[in-house]
Structure formats: C-alpha cells, structure tokens
Amino acid sequence: MINQNIITCCLVVFFLTSSHISTAVELKAHGIVDIRASSTNSLDEGYLVGGQGKFGSNDGQQLSIAQAGVELSAQWENGFSAHGVLNAYLAGLENDEDRAAGITEAYIKYKGLPNASGYRIQIKGGIFYPEISLENNAYAWASKNTLNSSTLNTWLGEEIRVLGSEFKVTRLGRMNNDAFDLSLSATAFINNDPAGALIAWHGWTMSSRQTLWGEAREFPWFPALADGAPLAKQADKSEPFLEIDDNAGYHVRAEWSLHGKGELSAGYYDNKAIPYQEIDGQYGWRTRFYHLGARWRISKSLSLTAQYLSGSTLMQSPLKEDMVNNDYSSGFVSLTYQWQGFFGSEKSGNKKHKSTLRLEDFSVTDNDNTWGDNNNEDGQALTLNHSYRLSKHWFLSAEFNYIDSHRPARYYTYKPADLVEKQLQLAARYFF
Amino acid sequence: MNNKVITLFFLLLSVLITPESSSAASCNSESMNNTCVQIFVNGKTGQALANMVVYLEPLDGQILTRSSKEVVVAQLGKSFTPYLSVSQVNSKVSFVNQDDITHHIYSVDSNNKFSFRIRAGQTNASETFGHVADVAMGCNIHDWMSGYLLIVNTPYFGKTDTQGQVSFNIAQQGKYNVVIWHPQLKNDNNRLSKTASIIANSTFTFTLKNEITTPTTQENEDDFDFLSDY
C-alpha cells in the first residue's frame, strides 16, 4: 500500500510539473466507465471473494461499476512519454464484495522515429502488462468486444504484470516495399514471482477485473492449507506482484502483421522465480508459458481473434519437494461481426452494431502428489455479446457467458466437481 | 415518347462530347496565347489510370511563372488525404489534421527529414521543401498511414482524372521532359518519361509496361475509436 501511495504521488507530481517543463508536452486523459447489471447463476461466492465460482460476481443479481479506468499520459515531441493507468471497481454495495481503486500500470516510454531502412526502436520502463492480450486493447486495458475477457486474458489481468523494461524493434514494411511489418520485443522484469498461485488454486476464471498493483487476492480454501499440512505457511491471500528471490524474469515476443489484414504473434514468458523461496507466506512460483495470437480481418465486417496460452508453474517446499506442479492451457476463438455504418464512417471498428461469439477451452493438470490440493481442471466456455453504439462515446452491451467445468477441488468446500455456470450482463460503457 | 427520344439523344450527345470538351475547357480557361498539352496514362491492358502524377520539366531554359498552388496534406480518417500530393520547390505546404486525435507526421528522406506532432484540428505550415524529392510520409502513432509528397521544379504538374487524362496550359513552347510518377510504378525512380517538343495541341499517351501495384490501403485492421496506443 505504501508502495502504491508513493507511485500515486510520483504520478501526480509528474503530471503537475511536466506541463511546466516544456510547452511541447501534450497531456491526455482517456478512459472508460462501465456500468453493469448482472444476473449470475453460479455458486454462492465468485472467485473474487475467494469462492469457487468462476465469474467475478456471486450468484444472484448485481449492479456494479465494473470498471472506472483512466489512462493519463504526457507525450513530448522527442518521442518520450509517461503513462499512468488507474482503475477502480465498485460492486456489491451491500456485502462489500469488491471495492478497490489503484494503479494498474505506470511506465515511461521512448518511441523513436524509424530510420531510412524502416527500423524503429521503442523502450519502455515501469509497471506494465507484457504484450499478450489481443482483447484488452481499449483504454485502461478494457476489453473491446466483450464485457468479460476470455479466461486466458482474465488470468493475465489477475496475475501477470511486471516491473521491468521492454526493448522493441519494429521493421516497417512501408520503407521496404513489403506489405507487412515485423516486430521483436524482449522484456526483463521483476516483481511477478507469486504468479501461478491463483491459476492453481481457483483455476481459470472469467471477468473484467484487473488486479491493482500491490493488491492481494483471495482464493478458495483447500485442506493442504490447514495447520500441519504441506501448505500451512501459505498466506491466506496471494500477492502476485512481489519480488521474492531477486531473480529477473523475461518475456520475448515476435509479431508479423499484414497491412490492413491482421497479425500473428508468438511469445514466451518465464518469471525465473526460485520455487522454494518464501517470504511472509508468499512463495516464488516458477511460471513459464508460451502464447500464440492471431487477429484477422476476414472481410470488412467480420473479424477473427484467437489466442492460445500453455505453460507450467512449480512451487516447492524449502526441501525442494514439489508442492504444486501444474501444467495449464487456455485458448479461445472469437468472431466479431459488425454492421451499419455510423457517422459516415465505413471503417469497421466504428459501426453501430457489433456481435461477438467466443468459444474457449481451458485446463489445469496437477502433476504433484500433495495431499489436499488437487488442482485439476477442465472446462469450456461460450460468450455471446451484442453491442450497440448509442453515440460516439456510449456503447450499450448485452452479454451471455456460459462455463461448463470439471474441478474436483470444489469438493473441499462441498461444491460439485461438475458445474455449469451462466451469467447475463447488461452494460452501458462510456469511452472518453 | 418524343420527349424521351430527345432526352436520350442529348444524353448520348453529352456522353460523347464530355471528355473532349472538359479537357478543352481546362485548357481554354487560361490565356489564348497558351499552348494546350494533353497527356493520357494507360495501364498495360489499355485501361485509363487515374491519380497518376504528371509533370513537365522545361529543357530549353524556358522562364516559367511559379505555381501559385498551395498544397494541403490533410490527415483525415487516420489516413493521408490525398495519398499523393505534388508541390513546386519552395511552395507553401500545409499539413492539416482534420481528425480528432493527435498524429505524429514524419519523413525519413535524407534531404527532407522532418517530424512533428500535430494535434486535432491543428495546421502546420512550418516545413519547407527546397529540393526536388519524393517524400514518403508516415505517422509514428498510426503505422498504417502512408502518403507521398512529390516536390518538383516546375509549375506544370497535376494528376490524371478518371479518364487517365491531365492537361496543361504551356506559356512557352519548346522542349520538355514529360514525366509520369507514382510511388508504386515499377520503373527506375518510379518514373516514366519522354522528351518532347511541345507545339500547339500536343497530345501524349503513356502506356505502362508493368501493371502498377495497388497501394496498400491506409487502413488498420483494428480501427476501434478508443484503442490504447501501447
């Protein structure tokens, strides 16, 4: 929390002073307010409050501010810019389900101009998301076409965030008579050592909630946490953004994009955490995964987005015995159809109606023999979204999510291993 | 019935005479002392090519009045509008951002290197172009944006219309280099040229040997209005 206050102070001071340093600076504030009504058919408690439900909200009806996010930036002529992203959530007024506000990203970026051969360098330093999600590219990491992100990206929003520096080289095809651009990026980072705990202990989930920097997250109870059991030392909440062992991790990514058509990307993340180190009940989890992404415009009105992520996580006792050793994967394919031109624009992203269908498959495979901690999971999900652009800034959305999952760990809290959960949401989203 | 026939007749007549009369009109609008030159640009299979840049370079030391055209390179709908602009050396070129977002316009051409951020609604006329050049422009925020500014040392420049035709009023007859330019033209320096003595009512037709590669549309595959530019 102190950490977060310092960052907030720095950001405020930075924005107040930056406008005086140079007249060439441009200050911008963009964001989203997402007001949502949801009806959830799930377990009593959703995963955000430490339950076994896969949605962010508990069983029943709920009115919430599903996201109030703002992206502040200061951008200079010379290619330097500073960015701060703040997010706030307000749900479940009656029983204090989820109320939080804080920083999700804060970084400084330098984006050079391309040279005559079309090569451009970009350097970024601070707190940020490794570039993986193809859904959460609207302001403040909001999902563009759906209300709930896919299980893959919900996990990234929950556990994957780094304090690091990213170096990126882009080769622009325009200067080389090629119809495609290529980019390669490499990030060295710290402060993401406990990542993996939540995917192990509540599995894949689906919401639009991002973990704030410094925030601790709950997970369901399981017998291995009991006194004298193998995981008794584990704190009752996990803090994904800690540095436990002073080992730097890395993320590399390559992207090929064909002008006006789409892009293909692949990357690899490894937090290089020492899996048997622990500080105040927070363990290092050696988490590594590869990810693949594709975004393709099939026609002017139909576009496809697909992502796949697969990897492993390992957490050990001080005696280097495996306590949690999991493999996991999640993938989705989504199709978005847009129609009826709006504001005289025939460009696809700004049509009046937008319908999205998303299909997902996810799993966690438990490879260890720890008593009272079965992390196995297998499931599928379906999302249907229709969004209507009411005016330039307002979007009305209706979304239906369906998750069918098998998770034996639910027995620990007397819940069924096989479960079908459904959610219907109505949202008014204001982008500015 | 009669009326219809008459209407049809006039329609036919207008269709037949339109191309001729329009080009003649553009030439006649200037002083009677001028010489009209018409240039046609056709593709490999003979089809008329629109938006091909054509310019005439004087070769006999003709003294020509400077072009009074002020070129406006607009940024509209996250694209350079028009895609191709032409200007005479040292003429005023204005960059006008008609979008409601900031652009960062640049050129990496060695003789005409420039870069500036231009906010919504702003105009930048501070760049000067003192050399003959093909200036390829981009936007460092929106990589798919691509536009060209051709700087020529003659007041006689223009772009072909949908009939593949452009005409000029030449004040002084004599030898000229007639040049066709397009950034996607598969020729040396993206040009086709022909030296010619221009006399009254000269007409030149250029037929490309290679098909011109269609320029990539200045369109992003994802053009939602509220994307975070990471």
Q: What percent of chain A has pLDDT over 90?
A: 86
The total of structural domains in chain B comes to: 2
* Domain assignment of residue B107, yes or no: yes
Domains of chain A in start order, with CATH, are 2-431 (2.40.160.10)
B119 and B85, same structural domain? yes
**DSSP β-bridge partners for residue A71:** A30, A85
Q: Which residues in chain B are contacts of A137 at CB distance < 8 A?
A: 222, 224, 227-228, 230
What pLDDT, on the 0 to 100 scale, is given for residue B24?
A: 38
Pick the range with the lowest mean pLDDT from A9-23, A116-130, A204-218, B39-53. Answer: A9-23
Question: DSSP letters of B41-68?
Answer: EE-TTS-B--S-EEEEEESS----PPP-
What rounded mean pLDDT belongs to chain A?
92
Please tell me which residue of chain B has the smallest CA distance to A302. B221
**pLDDT surpasses 60 at B92:** yes
Residue B129 sits in a domain whose CATH number is 2.60.40.420
Higher pLDDT, A187 or A96: A187
* Domain assignment of residue B220, yes or no: no
Residue B214 contacts A where some CB pair is shorter than 8 Å: no
**pLDDT surpasses 60 at B16:** no
Which of the listed residues B153, B177, B194 is the one where a domain comes to its end?
A: B153
Higher pLDDT, A180 or A14: A180
Q: Which tens digit of pLDDT belongs to each residue from B42-74? A: 998 889 999 999 999 999 888 888 888 889 999
- Closest chain B C-alpha to A330 CA, distance in angstroms: 24
> Using the beta-carbon criterion (under 8 Å), do B223 and A347 form an inter-chain contact?
yes
Segment A164-179 shows an average pLDDT of 94
Phi, then psi, of A92 in degrees rounded to 5: 60, 65
B57 and B160, same structural domain? yes
Pick the range with the lowest mean pLDDT from A216-220, A371-375, B15-19, B157-161. Answer: B15-19
User: In chain A, positions 397-426, which contact chain B (CB-CB < 8 Å)?
Assistant: none
Residues 6 or more apart whose CB falls under 8 angstroms from that of A164 comprise A125, A128, A187, A188, A189, A190, A191, A248, A249
Which of the listed residues B117, B134, B153 is the one where a domain comes to its end?
A: B153
Q: Which tens digit of pLDDT belongs to each residue from A313-372? A: 999 999 999 999 999 999 999 999 998 855 555 554 567 899 999 999 999 999 999 999
B113 and B164, same structural domain? no
B137 and B161, same structural domain? no
Structural domain that includes position B126: 66-153
Pair of tokens at residue A150? 């896919």
**pLDDT surpasses 50 at B132:** yes
> Using the beta-carbon criterion (under 8 Å), do A174 and B136 form an inter-chain contact?
yes
* Domain assignment of residue B121, yes or no: yes
B124 and B135, same structural domain? yes
B19: left (phi over 0), alpha (psi -120 to 50) or beta: alpha
Nearest to B224 among A131, A138, A257 (CB): A138
Segment B91-104 shows an average pLDDT of 94
B146 and B74, same structural domain? yes
Nearest to A347 among B77, B108, B140 (CB): B77
B80 and B192, same structural domain? no
Please tell me which residue of chain B has the smallest CA distance to A177. B184
Pair of tokens at residue B200? 């009254």
Euclidean distance between CA atoms B212 and B206, whole angstroms: 13
Pair of tokens at residue A120? 């451009």
B93 and B83, same structural domain? yes
Q: Which residues in chain A are contacts of B140 at CB distance < 8 A?
A: 79, 111, 113-114, 120
What pLDDT, on the 0 to 100 scale, is given for residue B68?
A: 85
Greatest pairwise CA separation for chain A in angstroms: 68
**pLDDT surpasses 60 at A14:** no
Euclidean distance between CA atoms A355 and A387, whole angstroms: 6
> Using the beta-carbon criterion (under 8 Å), do B223 and A349 form an inter-chain contact?
yes
Mutation for A interface: B104, B112, B221, B223, most A CBs within 10 A:
B221
Pick the range with the lowest mean pLDDT from A54-63, A217-226, A339-348, B14-23. Answer: B14-23
Within 13 Å and on the Cβ side, how many CA atoms surround B7?
Answer: 4
3-state percent breakdown (helix, strand, coil) of chain B, nearest 5: 15, 40, 50
Q: Which tens digit of pLDDT belongs to each residue from B178-229? A: 999 999 988 889 999 999 888 878 899 999 988 887 777 787 777 788 998 7
What pLDDT, on the 0 to 100 scale, is given for residue B11?
A: 46
* Domain assignment of residue B88, yes or no: yes
- Order of strands across the sheet that contains B165-170: B165-170, B35-42, B202-207
Segment B114-129 shows an average pLDDT of 92
**pLDDT surpasses 70 at A84:** yes
**pLDDT surpasses 60 at B30:** no
What pLDDT, on the 0 to 100 scale, is given for residue B211?
A: 80
What pLDDT, on the 0 to 100 scale, is given for residue A1?
A: 44
Segment A124-149 shows an average pLDDT of 97
A400 burial (CB, 10 Å; 0-12 / 13-18 / 19+) is middle
B180 and B113, same structural domain? no
* Domain assignment of residue B135, yes or no: yes
Residue B114 contacts A where some CB pair is shorter than 8 Å: no
Residue B52 sits in a domain whose CATH number is 2.60.40.10
B24 burial (CB, 10 Å; 0-12 / 13-18 / 19+) is middle
B73 and B124, same structural domain? yes
For residue B29, the tally of other CB atoms under 10 A from its CB is 9
What pLDDT, on the 0 to 100 scale, is given for residue B1?
A: 42
What pLDDT, on the 0 to 100 scale, is given for residue A7?
A: 55
Which of the listed residues B111, B134, B153 is the one where a domain comes to its end?
A: B153
Residue B228 contacts A where some CB pair is shorter than 8 Å: yes
Nearest to B221 among A75, A113, A261 (CB): A261
What pLDDT, on the 0 to 100 scale, is given for residue B31?
A: 54
B137 and B179, same structural domain? no
**pLDDT surpasses 80 at A395:** yes
Q: Residue B72 is inside which H or E element, if any?
A: strand B71-75
Whether A296 contacts A262, CB under 8 Å:
yes
Q: Residue A318 is inside which H or E element, if any?
A: none
Q: Which tens digit of pLDDT belongs to each residue from A256-274? A: 999 889 999 999 999 999 9
B85 and B199, same structural domain? no
- The residue written with tokens 């895609």 in the block is B83
* Domain assignment of residue B14, yes or no: no
* Domain assignment of residue B183, yes or no: yes
Nearest residue to A350 (alpha-carbon basis) of B183, B90, B226, B136: B226
What pLDDT, on the 0 to 100 scale, is given for residue A8?
A: 56
Mutation for B interface: A187, A348, A352, A356, most B CBs within 10 A:
A348
Whether A407 contacts A416, CB under 8 Å:
no
Is the interface score ipTM higher than 0.90?
A: no
* Domain assignment of residue B221, yes or no: no
